[in-house]
């Protein structure tokens, strides 16, 4: 499933399939563990859309939704099914501070447009997993604490392996996910669960909802307002 911002959007068939007779999207309670097992079983039956050797999964969610946690659960479930897995966080692909803070340290548009090095993600993570690629992936590039390159070694994902990329604002860059999961937070929950010092990012997520419509682009939506009681739409299509 590819995703991008911009352009006119008609009704998305994935969203329509998740709607009830009343036109509303319905969510069913699920545990994080059962969600991981269900997604792993579904992913195990998928073929990469490009005919290549590697499956690419995206777990999209604001930091307050903790996308790294369902990503870890899913990785464990896939490994239990015998699939090699490489989990990558977009937090390891931040741009240098001089670029992130070009318009100030708390600019929501910069956070949405300039903080994450999407070019490096394409170059170092996705293209090596294209059909005929090397499978040689860089797991991270930049350490935001030291503001220096991490110098991490490349990792080779064996054929038949699965990439899980997790982080915020994923579904607006044409990333070639074969399976995309969006962790949804209501505006109130997003504000409550975002640390006070990070609440300046909230307009960036409001803009993302408006421009990218991640709930429409995802193959499944998980409502995570209560981290102990998630609910989801199921898999459309």
User: What's the pLDDT tens digit per position in 124-140?
Assistant: 999 999 999 999 999 99
User: For the chain, what's the residue count?
Assistant: 237
**How far is residue 108 from each of residues 56, 97, 138, measured CA to CA in Å?**
28, 15, 28
User: What's the pLDDT tens digit per position in 141-187?
Assistant: 999 999 999 999 999 999 999 999 999 999 989 999 999 999 999 99
The Cβ of residue 99 has, within 10 Å, a number of other Cβ atoms equal to 12
First to last CA, the chain: 12
H or E element in which residue 99 lies: helix 97-100
Percent of the residues in the chain that have a pLDDT greater than 70, as a whole number: 89
Give which of 100, 88, 81, 87 is closest to 38, Cα–Cα: 81
Please report, for the chain, the start and end positions of each structural domain, with discontinuous segments joined by +. Answer: 13-232
Residue range 189-216: mean pLDDT, rounded: 97
Residue range 66-84: mean pLDDT, rounded: 98
Give the pLDDT confidence score for residue 19 in this predicted structure. 52
Which pTM value belongs to this model? 0.90
CATH class of domain segment(s) 13-232:
alpha beta
């Amino acid at each position: 499933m590819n995703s991008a911002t911009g352009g006119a959007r008609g009704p998305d068939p994935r969203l329509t399939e998740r709607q009830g007779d009343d036109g509303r999207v319905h969510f069913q309670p699920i545990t994080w563990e059962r969600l991981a097992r269900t997604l792993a079983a579904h992913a195990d039956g998928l073929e990469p859309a490009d005919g290549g050797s590697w499956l690419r999964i995206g777990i999209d969610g604001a930091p307050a939704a903790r996308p790294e946690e369902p990503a870890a659960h899913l990785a464990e479930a896939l490994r239990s099914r015998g699939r090699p897995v490489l989990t990558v966080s977009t937090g390891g692909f931040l741009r240098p501070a001089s670029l992130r803070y070009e318009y100030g340290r708390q600019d929501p548009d910069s956070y949405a447009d300039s903080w994450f090095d999407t070019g490096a993600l394409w170059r170092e993570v996705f293209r090596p997993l294209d059909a005929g690629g090397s499978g040689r992936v860089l797991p991270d590039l930049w350490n935001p604490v030291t503001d220096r390159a991490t110098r991490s070694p490349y990792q080779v994902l064996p054929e038949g392996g699965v990439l899980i990329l997790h982080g915020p604002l994923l579904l607006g860059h044409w990333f070639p996910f074969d399976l995309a999961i969006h962790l949804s937070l209501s505006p109130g929950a997003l504000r409550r669960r975002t640390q006070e010092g990070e609440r300046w990012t909230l307009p960036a997520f409001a803009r993302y909802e408006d421009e990218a419509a991640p709930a429409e682009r995802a193959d499944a939506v998980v409502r995570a307002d209560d981290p102990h009681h998630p609910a989801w739409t199921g898999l459309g299509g």
